[in-house]
Amino acid sequence: MKDIVIVGAGPIGLYAANLASLHELDGVVLEGQESIGGQLSALYPEKDIIDLPGFKKITAQGFIDALKEQMNSRVHPLPINLAEELKEFQPIEGGYLVTTSKGTIETKTILLTTGMGVFSPRKIGVENEDTFTNIIYSLKDKSQYKDKTVAILGGGDSAVDWALMLSEIAKKVYIVHRRNEFRAQSSSVEALDQKGVIKLTPYVVNRLIGEKEVSTLELQDVNTKELKTLDVDAVFVNYGMVSAPTSFPVEKVGPNIKVNSFYMSSMENVFAIGNIAYYDGKVKNITSGLGEAVTAITKIDQIIHPNKNIPIHY
């Protein structure tokens, strides 16, 4: 029987796995996708993260690569089972029977770090958008947009960050938001003007014009209903994500798992950290999730080894 099964190989799951190795816990990481990294790798690998301890800035993929290198540096790193999705878990004597898409695992504890779970990008919501090849939901290689005219749809931090990154190489960058005010950090919004990004508010997409690729965006003013067109080479959509509901048999607040001060759920020895977890004062932030991992893994070690002298610092 394993000491721990960690579900999810995003940044929080990877760091938790690293801590589990330091605590000499016998376990495994399950990741339903074909690769590690979660949203950071799948959606915005080239986005700069500027609020992590010790880094002036680091790309999302760079941070995932650093976490992987850190894991692999341990004497006994936890294995990561890719493309193995958690289906269910049931109590058995001494722990849980975890059923996955590839088999079963017996474990004493479970740590859920699934973030938004199985997610997909929220689409524009207009006719025939799935037929166009230049509608982009994840900025993975900005170099291919050198000297291009691009439009970014959205008003949050990621959309603004994409606009700023693309402004360094693109010929022209538009950012289209349905409200007058952006939800992104004010300093980033101010930088849009400094970088020459053209802000179009409050507009929504009315129609996509083109054959295999969108060549023209038809926009509509939310207030006046006036139509405006933009000639573009690519359209980036950043309207957030839609996650599939989880069926974990634990107490929830909305889609999130309610946890106590040790990040244990309503089921004994089933823990949740990161964006999937809920508690009063919860902040959905990578750094917060990393701290939650420290507390959860320490508690799990205490459960597995009640007489062990667990060091506070490594």
HEC per residue, 124-157: CCCCCHHHCCCEECCCCCHHHHCCCEEEEECCCH
Question: At residue 140, does pLDDT exceed 80?
Answer: no
Mean pLDDT of 94-117: 94
Domain annotation for the chain: domains and CATH numbers:
2-119+242-304 (3.50.50.60), 123-239 (3.50.50.60)
Per-residue pLDDT of 53-83, as tens digits, reads 999 999 999 999 999 999 999 999 999 999 8
Q: Distance between CA 176 and CA 155 in Å, rounded?
A: 7
Instruction: For the sheet with 227-231, list strands across it.
Output: 203-210, 214-221, 227-231
Mean pLDDT of 108-114: 97
pTM for this model (two decimals): 0.70
Per-residue pLDDT of 6-49, as tens digits, reads 999 999 999 999 999 999 999 999 998 888 988 888 777 878 89
